[in-house]
Structure 1
Amino acid sequence: MKNASLIMIIAPLLLLGLFAFPLWNIMLGAPQYPEPLGMNIHITGIKGVSEFDLQNIDGLNHYIGMKTIPKPGEMWEFNVFPKVIIGMVVLGVLIGLLGFFEKVSYKLFLGWFVLMSVLGVLGMYDFNEWLTDYGSNLDPHAIIKVTNLDGTPMTYKPPLFGNQEMLNFDVTSLPSIGAYMMFLGMTLTLVASYLGWKNGQDAEKQ
């Protein structure tokens, strides 16, 4: 159980990578931009991949009536998500320590994974809702109005995951380093849960 508990202590600490690295990345490529424009989505705010990327993206969005990219204080998520991550790190390490001293079973390791998975799904749902509002709730007085073939307003919602053609832009949305560190930490909690379960099975056979 001690090896499983040590892994459980280490695993949630990987979530701290979200404070150093972006969670998600959205890149926009077009013929008029030799270097693609990009946004890095952090849990504390949105930053440009290059110095003037956000300024250039906002400039393009203005013509089609999209909102400006929000500042950290303009979205409650950028205040709440860091607190949630810190809380999950503390909880995970505490569970691991209690497991090391055999105060709790491996089932709490699995419980942490389930809770983190639920929070992750809710976070992705919230992110997708923001993308939908960002790309669909357009200013009716915009300079450029583009419609679908049926006459309905075209949505400029970036994809949640993958690649999509939007007018003359090629948009790619993928997880970034912070997300991979989080996924690794969550996977390690499954490893810790399995080792804890196996340890219990072996103890019953003795």
Structure 2
Amino acid sequence: MKKAGIIMILGSLLLLGLFKFPLWNIMLGAPQYPDPMGMNIYITGIEGVNEFDIQNIDGLNHYIGMKKIPKPEEMWEFEVFPIVIGGMAALGVIIGILGFFGKLSYKWFLGWLILTSVLGILGMYDFNNWLTEYGTDLDPNAIMKMTHPDGTPMTYKPPLFGHQKMLNFDVDSWPHTGAYMLFAGMALSLIAFFIGKKEWETNN
């Protein structure tokens, strides 16, 4: 399964792009802000798209009682995610090498894909929970207390995926380069599975 093994190795190595490129991006735009503000979310922390975006977003959030954007040391995820991504990349490379030399079945490629998918879903679930807490756990003593027409307090949870209108802000939340590299790596592992299956059946 030489060809399948090489494809599996390449797919696994694409995960390392998450150490360099953002996983996700959230942008906020409003008429009074001609230059939109944004956050790039990495597996190691959150950075502003522009130099002062984090400070500006925190300043706006203060008025409505939202917490400050967390620093890397304030979220366990930023310690665990790099370990998980590095471990999955290393595991995928090992599986690819062993597959290259015919030491294991092509089914291992699919197993790696399934495990990566499960971990990815758990990561997105955790990310969505953080967005929910970030947008709903508001300071009761905030300067501005916005409510719905029925009197219930407004929440400011950014969308996990897509576009949403919050007050006069347009909020967009989409995958970034790191996520696309992850998806590409997973797609390559699926291709490796089918090619490996064909090679396995041909040789056995």
TM-score interval w.r.t. the shorter chain?
over 0.9
- 1:186 correspondence with 2:191: no
- Alignment-derived partner of residue 171 in structure 1: 171
Deviations 1:143-165 (A, max 9, x none): 00011122111110000000000
- 1:1-206 matches, cutoff 5 A: 1-203=1-203
Q: CA deviation at 1:14?
A: 0.3
Deviations 1:170-198 (A, max 9, x none): 00000000000000000000000000111
Q: Distance in 1 between matches of 2:186 and 2:107?
A: 15
Q: Distance in 2 between matches of 1:2 and 1:19?
A: 28
Q: CA deviation at 1:202?
A: 3.0
Deviations 1:91-142 (A, max 9, x none): 0000001111111011000000000000000000000000000000000000
Amino acid at match of 2:61: N
Q: Distance in 2 between matches of 1:134 and 1:179?
A: 22
Q: Distance in 1 between matches of 2:73 and 2:99?
A: 39
Question: Which deviates the most, 140-149 or 61-70?
Answer: 140-149
Amino acid at match of 1:27: M
Amino acid at match of 1:168: N
Percent identical? 71
Amino acid at match of 1:156: Y
What SS does the aligned partner of 1:88 have?
helix
Q: Distance in 2 between matches of 1:107 and 1:152?
A: 52
Give the root-mean-square deviation of aligned CA atoms.
0.7
Amino acid at match of 2:78: F
Q: Distance in 2 between matches of 1:174 and 1:202?
A: 42
TM-score (norm. length: structure 2): 0.99
Amino acid at match of 1:43: I
| Unaligned runs of at least 5 residues, structure 2 | none
Q: Distance in 1 between matches of 2:103 and 2:199?
A: 15
| Unaligned runs of at least 5 residues, structure 1 | none
Deviations 1:49-82 (A, max 9, x none): 0000000000000000000000000000000000
Q: How many residues align?
A: 204
Q: Distance in 2 between matches of 1:152 and 1:98?
A: 58
What SS does the aligned partner of 1:155 have?
coil
TM-score (norm. length: structure 1): 0.98
